[in-house]
Structure 1
Amino acid sequence: MQLHTHEWGSGDRIAVLIHGLMSDHRTWRRLGPALADRGYRVIGVDLRGHGASGRGAYAPELFADDLVDTLPAGAELALGHSLGGLALSLAAERLAPARAVYSDPAWALGQWRESLPVEPAMFKEFKRASRAMIQSFNPRWDAADIDVELAGLAVWDEETAHALSGPGAVDHIPAEPVVPSLVQVADPSPVVPEPLKAELSARGFDVRTVDGAGHCIHRDDFDAFMDSLDGWV
């Protein structure tokens, strides 16, 4: 499936940004322009079932295939958050970016997630979240980020939640990075348990924890998010 995209900047280097569940390209309202200022042409996608992209069947492999169908191979930088990190890892060998950043990636869906159970209904409840509810869960977000979250939820297909949770969900933790790869981890992380951090380091990933930041690191503490990308952007 060809995905809807949004671009910032017109630099010679390409960066691609892939959002997480329930969101769309608008989550990168600060990162897109920041990378454009550094000389990138930045391409943000709306995954299937999100934003202005099409709907259909939902599975991690399908999200990944859509990235390959939509994005140019060989980008200087590819960055995916949560579901976007999962999709990126499954597409990384085909997209072949020079560097990949996985921001609190949703890889631990099965055995590794036993201590962090999540059911589709828990995600679906957020479809009808109020501004006050989003603010209570994310007290550090700017008002503009809450606006973006509400807009994204309004056009999100809640059936996508079944791709990440529920019976039959399996882990998609990469055996090794196929390109130089950074894993950003929230503190605490709802998707990267502490033992997995050590395992990822052992597998060859650069793992950096962003102290005190929630799952959406780029919206909880943008400055710390950018600091943790030192040497990668």
Structure 2
Amino acid sequence: MRLNTHEWGSGDRIAVLVHGIMSDHRTWRKVGPALAERGYRVIAVDLRGHGASPRGEGPAPVDRYGPELFAQDLVDTLPVGADLAIGHSLGGLALLDAVDRLKPARAVYSDPAWKFAQPGLFTPSAFTLFKRASREQIKLLSPRWEEVDVDVELATVAAWDEDSALALAGHQEPTGLPGAPAVPSLVQLPGRSFLITPEDAEELRGLGYEVRTVEDSGHTIHRDDHEGFMASLDGWI
């Protein structure tokens, strides 16, 4: 599937951005311009079932959505050999499954959804509750966000097909940590990740990933602490 994309900048280097579940390219409203200022042409996708991209096809949610489909869509849409690829949460899972085909020079996985540190904490049914979240609830859950980020969250959730969460029911325990990185890779974590444990982080380092932590942030690092997010990319962008 060819995905909807949004671009910033016209530099000689290419960066691709892949958002997490319930979101779309608008989540990168600060990151895209910041990378463009550093000389990148930035391409951000809307995953299938998100933003302005097509919905999945098939009789059941599992037929329309799934990690392998999200990954294939990236291969169908994005250029091979980008200088930088960043995937957040579900986007980190999709990017991992596509990285050997996309072959970016460097990959950054921002609190990737490779496994759950606390199984059962976030279930597909819990994700679908966000479809009806109010502004006040979003602000309570993400107190560091600017008002415009709350506006973006309300808009992206409204555009999101909640069946994509239901389809992931069978993937609540993904296969686990990946093997050695296919390309030089950074794993970026918040101070307390519900996806990657400290033990996982040490295992990832042993596998050859660089692991950095942005302490004063939650799962959506780039919106909780944009400056910390960008600083943690030093040497990778």
Partner of 2:159: 155
TM-score between the two structures when normalised by the length of structure 1:
0.95
Aligned-partner residue type, residue 11 of structure 1: G
| Equivalent position SS for 2:97 | helix
Aligned counterpart for 2:85 among listed residues 78, 85, 89: 78
Conserved 8 A contact 2:124-2:169: yes
- Give me the whole-angstrom Cα distance separating, in 2, the residues matched to 1:218 and 1:174: 23
Provide Cα deviations, 1:111-146, integer angstroms capped at 9, x if missing partner.
xx4545421111000011000000000000011111
Determine if contact 1:116/1:191 at 8 Å carries over to the other structure.
no
Task: Tell me which stretches of 4 or more aligned residues in structure 1 moved more than 6 Å.
Answer: none
How many angstroms apart in 2 are the aligned matches of 1:129 and 1:232? 35
Whether the aligned pair in 2 keeps the contact of 1:188 and 1:212 (CA below 8 Å) is no
In 2, the alpha carbon distance for the partners of 1:84 and 1:119 equals: 17
Q: Is the 8 A contact 1:99 1:179 kept in 2?
A: yes
Q: Secondary structure at the match of 2:212?
A: strand
Residue 61 of structure 2 corresponds to which residue in structure 1?
Answer: none
Partner of 1:62: 69
Post-superposition CA distance 1:22-46 (Å, at most 9, x none)? 0000000000000001110000000
Amino acid at match of 1:149: E
In the other structure, the counterpart of 1:202 is: 206
The equivalent residue for 1:227 is 231
- Deviation for aligned residue 1:171: 2.2
- Once the two structures are TM-superposed, the CA of residue 167 in structure 1 deviates from its matched residue by 6.9
Question: Does 2:23 correspond to 1:26?
Answer: no
Equivalent in the alignment of 1:129 = 133
Q: Percent identity?
A: 62
Aligned pairs (5 A) from 1:1-233: 1-56=1-56, 57-109=64-116, 113=117, 115=119, 117-166=121-170, 169-233=173-237
1:55-111 Cα offsets, whole Å, 9 max, x none, are 1111101000000000000000000000000000000000000000000000005xx
Contact 1:15/1:77, CA 8 A, preserved across alignment: yes
Shift of residue 192, structure 1, vs aligned partner? 1.0
**RMSD of Structure 2 on Structure 1 (CA):** 1.4
Q: Which amino acid in 1 is paired with 2:131? A: K
Contact 2:48 2:55 in 1 (8 A): yes
TM-score, normalised relative to structure 2 = 0.94
User: Structure 1, unaligned stretches of length 5 or more?
Assistant: none
The answer to whether the Cα contact below 8 Å between 2:19 and 2:87 also exists between their aligned partners in 1 is: yes
Closer, same or farther: CA 163–86 of 1 in aligned 2, 3 Å: farther
Say if 1:187 and 1:114 are closer, same or farther in 2 by CA, change over 3 A.
closer
Give the superposition deviation at 1:225. 0.5
Q: Tell me, what secondary structure is at the counterpart of 1:173?
A: coil
The amino acid of 1:89's aligned partner reads L
Unaligned runs of 5+ in 2: 57-63
Cα 1:167–1:60 shift into 2, 3 Å: closer
- Greater displacement, 136-145 / 190-199: 190-199
Instruction: Count residues in correspondence.
Output: 230
Q: Deviations over 1:152-202 (max 9, x none)?
A: 000100111134445774325210110000000011112112211111111
